Structure 1
Amino acid sequence: MDCGNQACTGWALSLQAVGMFLGEFSCLAVFYLLRCRAAGHPDASMTQQQPFNPLLFLPPALCDMTGTSIMYVALNMTSASSFQMLRGAVIIFTGLFSVAFLGRRLVLSQWLGILATIAGLVVVGLADLLSKHDDQHKLSEVITGDLLIIMAQIIVSIQMVLEEKFVYKHNVHPLRAVGTEGLFGFVILSLLLVPMYYIPASSFSGNPRGTLEDALDAFCQIGRQPLIALALLGNISSIAFFNFAGISVTKELSATTRMVLDSLRTVVIWALSLALGWEAFHPLQILGFIILLTGTALYNGLHRPLLACLARGRSPAEEGEHERLLGGSRTPINETS
């Protein structure tokens, strides 16, 4: 059975998504392992879990599955760096949905962060329009891929709002929440591989049979190419480690730190894509990424520590000089005003 590039990317759309959910599902095993270790400590947070219905996390799992599937399709239509940068749109929709459904009030800096993110997305999209396109990524496919990524972020933001509501309302441990979603996603998507094997997809298909998915062909390719199995194993392991590390950073440091570290991932992907020759350099991408990073920083309040450091950096002599330049010595009028 021939294994061309097109066929190899075809099965990746669903099979990699199954692997992703398997990685998330492994977080549930980690949770119960840590819970068993903490059984002798009554005050441990692992043992202080309220009973909850696991089906509460079915809607977030469906959102995760749908958004991930759409993003895997979009990734085949556009560059990896643009894919990663456009995922920053999740801040926009998460902020808006938090206001609408969680009753949260956004401060001025968060609204400015959303506006900056929108501007950054426009610049990144413009860079895709102006960059040269080869036979693999035509302009129409790039535009479609970019729009699909943004559409997927709407679904992902719904998932994040639902997760936040359920995790805080029912005091569910994050590892348990991620693992429960992974269980639902793994079971549902594995079952969907059966009808996908028979649904025709014409030119949209990436396998020799022309169907939406060919799991048997995928396993055949894995058997013939051990590197594919290694890549899938790496995908499963990285997803599990990524979720566990992200939760740990959020718990021990802050969600803001996690967002900053996640932004560094975009830089690494973009640099590797350039180094390996997978895409051409475009200055607008740098500008777009800087604007996106600024929007993320404003939304997560990173400007506050910076302003506080600048305020503390002034010496008393500088403060006195600044006061004299503004108005000289204080007068009774100054003191009463």
Structure 2
Amino acid sequence: MQCVRNCDSPDPKERKTFEQPVIQTAQMFIGEMGCWIVIFISYMYHRYVSSRFSHEPTPLLAGGYHPVSADDRGYDDDEDQTLDGPAVDGHNSKPSVSHDGRINLQGRRILLLAAPACCDLAATTLMNVGLLFVAASIYQMTRGALVLFVGLFSVLFLRRKLYAYQWAALFVVVLGVALVGLAGALFGGDSNKGTTQANTMEVVSNAMMQARDIAQTPEAVKAVIGVLLIAAAQIFTASQFVLEEWILENYEMDPIRVVGWEGIFGFVITIAGMIILYLAVGRTESGRYGYFDAKEGWHQVFTNRAVIISSIFIMISIGGFNFFGLSVTRSVSATSRSTIDTCRTLFIWLVSLVLGWESFKWLQVIGFALLVYGTFLFNDIVRPPLKACLPRDLRDRQELLQEEPIEHM
């Protein structure tokens, strides 16, 4: 947390850190809108540079991105599926259809992207607020429930079929995340040299005694509120993933453009809400320097070098993160995206170890091993430990794959 006020005070309690969850949500959408810069640069390159050397169709960012679709829905070959534009028949017009039968997402249909943008807005804001109330380890453990919500919503609303071993894989992922967070909660205050020699039972006992002592304090109430906010955020995030999968399954648009449009919708809604909350709460005496004091929040952003530099890097990373996440959703599924997304914790942990921000804990190693194994198991990279865990159709498919390939004459 970056200090923004009273930073020279000898009393740490008087120092105020940057706590602006609404502004951080707006920064996230600014990062997503940054995708339009990439789209514009790509357009200019293919328009004025690449066109001089080649007349081949433009790739990826200029409308040529055609991911592999696992959709096996049938379409009538007699239907008019115009690729270059809307087909006009008298007074009736049909929407243009892509090569794989999906309707091009254009015109008023772009407003569909406002739904996942609203879910992203709610989820990010709730998680930012919840993180102010709980430790990072508790935050991480609560976030692990995301994969279960995404799996459940995919089955309920997208009619996906998850086998028993895939549900087991999701629970393994949640268990791995929980162990990682538990290790941070139990050993977070230990030094590097004392962590590996700590008595686990003694630490657990001390933690239970401390929890019993503060159970009736406001800190305990804050922790409960923080956990509930983060858990609610996972429901919104799961809704966002499932909505994006449904949209990309039925409509055609480059993932980078989807991120750009979601950024526009989310930013407009966030700014509107920010103005309303500032007028209603932020400018009052009790709301001064609070979460809804947008004037003070933006002042802190632009007058603190550390805050603005970290904000720029966060915005850049969020734009790329959402683009790659949507690409995974389009090519595989929202549930696979959520399991892969959870593995971010592993890379963050490795970088933190290298930079000296984290100390090595064996319990985290076990948690990350379960996390990676559950992700690989769900995405069929590794097989279940027992062949009987596989459904009959998958077992038959594996037996056929082990035989010699059939040559067609």
Is TM > 0.5 for Structure 1 vs Structure 2? Answer: yes
Check whether the contact 1:197–1:211 (CA below 8 A) recurs between aligned residues.
no
- 1:295 corresponds in structure 2 to 374
Check whether the contact 1:199–1:212 (CA below 8 A) recurs between aligned residues.
no
Q: Which moved further from structure 2: 297-306 or 25-34?
A: 297-306
Q: Which moved further from structure 2: 51-60 or 242-251?
A: 242-251
Residue from 131, 136, 140 that aligns with 1:80: 136
Q: CA RMSD in A?
A: 4.2
Q: Output the CA distance in 2 between the equivalents of 1:233 and 1:43.
A: 30
- 1:233 corresponds in structure 2 to 312
Q: Output the CA distance in 2 between the equivalents of 1:276 and 1:143.
A: 32
- Per-residue displacement from partner, 1:86-139 (whole Å, max 9, x unpaired)? 43322111111111111111123211112324444665676648585899x944
C-alpha distance 230-71 of structure 1, shift in aligned 2 (>3 A): same
Residue from 18, 23, 26 that aligns with 1:18: 26
- 2:236 corresponds in structure 1 to 155
Q: Which moved further from structure 2: 87-96 or 175-184?
A: 87-96
- 1:8 corresponds in structure 2 to 17
Identify, as 1 or 2, the structure richer in helix. Answer: 1
Q: Output the CA distance in 2 between the equivalents of 1:150 and 1:169.
A: 29
C-alpha distance 211-252 of structure 1, shift in aligned 2 (>3 A): closer
- 2:288 corresponds in structure 1 to 209
SS of corresponding position for 1:197: helix
TM alignment of 1:159-238, pairs within 5 A: 159-200=240-281, 209=288, 211-238=290-317
The TM-score, its normalising length taken from structure 1, stands at: 0.72
Give how far 1:20 is off: 0.7
Q: Output the CA distance in 2 between the equivalents of 1:195 and 1:15.
A: 14
Higher relative contact order (CA 8 A, sep 6+): 1
Q: Output the CA distance in 1 between the equivalents of 2:259 and 2:132.
A: 26
C-alpha distance 24-43 of structure 1, shift in aligned 2 (>3 A): closer
Structure 1 unaligned spans of 5+: 309-337
C-alpha distance 238-125 of structure 1, shift in aligned 2 (>3 A): closer
Check whether the contact 1:27–1:178 (CA below 8 A) recurs between aligned residues.
yes
Percent sequence identity is 36
SS of corresponding position for 2:144: helix
* Counterpart residue identity of residue 174, structure 1: P
Check whether the contact 1:263–1:293 (CA below 8 A) recurs between aligned residues.
no
TM alignment of 1:87-98, pairs within 5 A: 87-98=143-154
Q: Output the CA distance in 1 between the equivalents of 2:116 and 2:264.
A: 12
Check whether the contact 1:25–1:178 (CA below 8 A) recurs between aligned residues.
yes
TM alignment of 1:1-337, pairs within 5 A: 2-3=5-6, 7-11=16-20, 13-35=21-43, 37=45, 41-42=56-57, 46=63, 50-52=104-106, 53-120=109-176, 123=179, 128=185, 138-200=219-281, 209=288, 211-246=290-325, 262-270=341-349, 284-304=363-383
Check whether the contact 2:18–2:300 (CA below 8 A) recurs between aligned residues.
no
* Counterpart residue identity of residue 112, structure 1: A
Give how far 1:154 is off: 1.2
Give how far 1:170 is off: 0.8
- Per-residue displacement from partner, 1:180-230 (whole Å, max 9, x unpaired)? 1111111111122112224448xxx9x971544122212322343222111
Check whether the contact 2:119–2:236 (CA below 8 A) recurs between aligned residues.
yes
Check whether the contact 1:109–1:301 (CA below 8 A) recurs between aligned residues.
no
- Per-residue displacement from partner, 1:265-301 (whole Å, max 9, x unpaired)? 3134345667888788776555444434333332222
Q: Output the CA distance in 2 between the equivalents of 1:250 and 1:159.
A: 11
Q: Output the CA distance in 1 between the equivalents of 2:250 and 2:267.
A: 25
Q: Output the CA distance in 2 between the equivalents of 1:119 and 1:139.
A: 24
* Counterpart residue identity of residue 10, structure 1: E
Give how far 1:246 is off: 4.5
* Number of aligned residue pairs: 302
